[in-house]
């Protein structure tokens, strides 16, 4: 074994290149891939000074703190002064990526600084500790080569100071890195990371890009045509994405998918610049489409914990054709409200109202929320199903402390319990809104503690009220496009497992049990059908008016004056009088011809006639069809004896029913549904004059020698 002196002699300048290449081999396999997709690509020449400063401030807030008695490196509490590029999106993305990479290797980087005697031998201001860590990570990623500076780049004194320090210790730093790799018996220090973190990085390098189409500004077909003109080929599924291609998502009809390496090109085309295509994680699109499937025409929506403005905009675009209003609470920064409203205006969103209150402080009886029927709940979760945490943090405006858990392979047991309790409290609070009829609960977690367990616990803790129906677990409302989808949804939960083509997702649908006394109105049925596009060409409003007229006529009919002199009422009264007199004279005859007692037969006959006359008051056709009369009653009526001395001939009556016309959009469809035969014959009975009232005015019943019963539809 080499002694320390000979070991240092071995790490001379001649062997420096070989050592640095070996030490930094695949230290971070995902760093280069992520930087290629960024708007600013530093390559191996290093980052601008401003990125280092921003990354150091981010790392300062998410670093893992060690006990004071074991902490050799001091980080301080003062952030570095920010630069003017801090608001630039591309600089922010690079800064977060650099800070997250340094966080994953924090232990290794601190060990390198201690083994190389940078700490505690050198006197460095404490607040530069975070800057040293992030610059050391980039230094070893560049194989300890010097950074190339551009002529017009603004330099920052703190960055220049740390860079000079690292360059002076680069031989010792490379040796310390090599020893660390050998100590863990790893091909590269990348393999020292937890397995979950390594798999996460592998998925992030191949994860496709998902973007939803703003149908408020452009149609789906126009987007496809525009992309084809720019050289993008449409393929069948995400599995066939290669080169310049795109596919349509199977679960969400307005979501298109692109290969990951095309992001730099896509952000520069007009479709994305004009907010006609918007990048967003698929899990958020699945959530808003689940809400859309549960809505009626005029239902309002309450969206909770909306970190991403794009999720709110997507929900607004999907409900543009409705009269729905979207209430949003849980926006992280209220200072950006003007910027957010400006974005909504550019995207064509008009039905959004931002609530300043937190969700748990909202009262269920708030007058603004009385028409809210669906609640979309996106609680803060561990997000372990997300492959690229940096993209998730930036797009969803999540708390950066989430990166600390993801850098270690997941949250601790105690923190997972805290998250689950917060999710349970939010879900049970959502159940208190009496007017709401459905809740969509969505997370990006893979833990049952945050998913199934929270939902089932909330369902079990419901209080059985008198007026409020309880919630129940409902099946997914999204299409199940594969056997895998069906298998994962067997217990009524919709799941998407993390993979190379999508992030993980969990969705649960809770709906209120329907009140048995509640009846569904025609308006609600037609509104739901219209929302699903099933009533093209049919005006929904007219149906509601007809329904109101029908209800009005039904309510007014029993209140008609008793002394009203109309022909129908007079005939009914005369008919009842004749029947009551005749029934007293034919009791013996009926007893001889039937096995029933005379009293029973006469009562049945009378009740049968009462039902017929009552139906005559509402519909003249009901008497001849005798649809609701029992067979034995019809038999007795046909064989009823006539009073002596009177001969009443039986006549067949022809009844012409109007053709049945269905509301088809084309005339051809209507003709194909029109019945070809409209003549129905039936034995009319003894009162031909009464029965023929169903015919047109002035017509006489036709005599016929054909069969007395010719019924083309015997099932009626």
Active site residues: 444
Tokens of 448: 């049952």
CA angle 38–47–387, rounded 5-degree value: 40
253: nearest Cα among 223, 224, 213, 216: 213
Separation CA 113–CA 185 (nearest Å): 20
* Beta-strand pair 245-248/255-258: antiparallel
602: nearest Cα among 626, 633, 627: 633
Task: Give phi and psi for 12, each to the nearest 5.
Answer: -90, 180
Alpha helices in 157-255, H assignment, sequence order: 157-168, 170-183, 195-206, 220-229
684: nearest Cα among 669, 662, 665, 704: 704
Question: Which residues contact residue 499 at a Cβ distance below 8 angstroms, ignoring those fewer than 6 apart?
Answer: 203
Tokens of 238: 């995400």
CA angle 468–472–475, rounded 5-degree value: 140
428: nearest Cα among 461, 465, 393: 461
Answer yes or no: are the C-beta atoms of 509 and 289 closer than 8 Å. no
Q: Find the length of the chain.
A: 716
Question: Which residues contact residue 271 at a Cβ distance below 8 angstroms, ignoring those fewer than 6 apart?
Answer: 218, 223, 226, 227, 277
Answer yes or no: are the C-beta atoms of 96 and 51 closer than 8 Å. no
Answer yes or no: are the C-beta atoms of 59 and 130 closer than 8 Å. yes
Task: Give phi and psi for 234, each to the nearest 5.
Answer: -85, 125
Answer yes or no: are the C-beta atoms of 444 and 503 closer than 8 Å. yes
Answer yes or no: are the C-beta atoms of 288 and 315 closer than 8 Å. yes
- Residue 283 neighbours by CB distance under 10 Å: 25
Which neighbouring-strand residues pair with 353? 327
Alpha helices in 105-156, H assignment, sequence order: 106-115, 129-141
Answer yes or no: are the C-beta atoms of 217 and 276 closer than 8 Å. yes
Q: Can you tell me which residue has the tokens 């077909």?
A: 221
Answer yes or no: are the C-beta atoms of 655 and 680 closer than 8 Å. yes
Q: Is the dihedral of CA 662, 666, 671, 673 positive or negative?
A: negative
């Amino acid at each position: 074994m080499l002694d320390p002196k000979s070991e240092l002699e071995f790490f001379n300048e001649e062997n420096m290149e070989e050592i640095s290449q070996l030490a930094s081999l695949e230290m971070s396999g995902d760093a280069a891939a992520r930087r290629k997709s960024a708007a600013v690509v530093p390559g191996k020449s290093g980052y601008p000074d401003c990125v280092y400063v921003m990354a150091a401030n981010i790392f300062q807030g998410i670093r893992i703190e060690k006990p004071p008695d074991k902490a050799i490196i001091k980080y301080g509490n003062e952030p570095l002064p920010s630069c003017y590029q801090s608001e630039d999106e591309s600089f922010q993305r690079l800064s977060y990526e650099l800070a997250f990479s340094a966080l994953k290797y924090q232990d290794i980087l601190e060990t390198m600084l201690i083994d190389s005697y940078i700490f505690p031998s050198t006197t460095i201001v404490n607040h530069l500790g975070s800057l040293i860590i992030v610059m050391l990570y980039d230094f070893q990623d560049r194989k300890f080569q010097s950074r190339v500076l551009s002529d017009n780049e603004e330099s920052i004194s703190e960055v220049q100071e740390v860079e000079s320090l690292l360059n002076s210790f680069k031989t010792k730093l490379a040796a310390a890195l090599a020893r660390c790799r050998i100590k863990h018996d790893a091909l590269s220090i990348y393999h020292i990371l937890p397995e979950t973190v390594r798999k996460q990085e592998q998925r992030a390098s191949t994860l496709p890009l998902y973007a939803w189409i703003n149908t408020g500004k452009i149609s789906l077909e126009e987007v496809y045509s525009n992309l084809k003109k720019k050289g993008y080929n449409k393929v069948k599924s995400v599995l066939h994405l290669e080169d310049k291609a795109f596919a349509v998502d199977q679960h969400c009809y307005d979501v298109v998918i692109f290969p990951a390496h095309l992001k730099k090109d896509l952000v520069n085309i007009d479709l994305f610049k004009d907010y006609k295509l918007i990048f967003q994680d698929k899990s958020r699109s699945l959530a808003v489409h689940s809400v859309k499937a549960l809505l009626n025409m005029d239902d309002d929506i309450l969206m909770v914990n909306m970190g991403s403005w794009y999720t709110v905009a997507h929900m607004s675009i999907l409900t543009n054709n409705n009269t729905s209003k979207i209430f949003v609470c849980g926006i992280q920064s209220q200072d950006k409200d003007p910027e957010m409203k400006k974005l909504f205006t550019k995207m064509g969103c008009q039905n959004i109202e931002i609530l300043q209150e937190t969700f748990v402080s909202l009262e269920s009886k708030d007058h603004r929320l009385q028409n809210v029927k669906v609640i979309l709940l996106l609680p803060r979760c561990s997000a372990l199903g997300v492959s690229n945490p940096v993209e998730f943090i930036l797009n969803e405006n999540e708390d950066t402390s989430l990166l600390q858990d993801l850098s270690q392979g997941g949250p601790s047991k105690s923190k997972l319990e805290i998250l689950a309790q917060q999710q349970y409290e939010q879900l049970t609070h959502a159940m208190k809104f009496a007017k709401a009829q459905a809740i969509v609960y969505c997370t990006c977690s893979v833990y049952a503690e945050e998913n199934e367990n929270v939902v089932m616990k909330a369902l079990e803790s419901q209080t059985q009220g008198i007026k409020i129906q309880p919630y129940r677990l409902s099946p997914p409302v999204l299409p199940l496009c594969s056997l895998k989808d069906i298998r994962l949804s067997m217990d009524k939960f919709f799941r998407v497992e993390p993979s190379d083509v999508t992030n993980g997702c969990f969705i649960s649908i809770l709906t209120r049990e329907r009140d048995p006394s509640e009846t569904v109105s025609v308006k609600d049925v037609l509104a739901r059908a219209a929302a699903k596009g099933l009533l093209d060409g049919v005006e929904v409003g007219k149906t509601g008016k007809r329904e109101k007229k029908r209800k009005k006529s039904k309510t007014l009919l029993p209140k008609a004056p008793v002394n009203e002199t109309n022909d129908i009422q007079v005939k009914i009264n005369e008919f009842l009088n004749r029947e009551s007199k005749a029934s007293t004279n034919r009791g013996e005859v009926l007893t001889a011809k039937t096995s029933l007692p005379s009293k029973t037969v006469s009562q049945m006959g009378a009740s049968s006639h009462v039902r017929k006359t009552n139906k005559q008051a509402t519909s003249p056709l009901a008497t001849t069809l005798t649809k609701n009369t029992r067979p034995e009653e019809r038999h007795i009526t046909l064989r009823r004896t006539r009073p002596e001395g009177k001969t009443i001939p039986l006549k067949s009556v022809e009844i012409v029913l109007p053709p049945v016309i269905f509301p088809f959009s084309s005339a051809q469809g209507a003709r194909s549904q029109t019945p070809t035969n409209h003549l129905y014959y039936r034995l009319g009975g003894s009162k031909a004059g009464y029965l023929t009232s169903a015919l047109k005015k002035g017509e006489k019943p036709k005599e016929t020698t054909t069969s007395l019963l010719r019924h083309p539809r015997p099932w009626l």
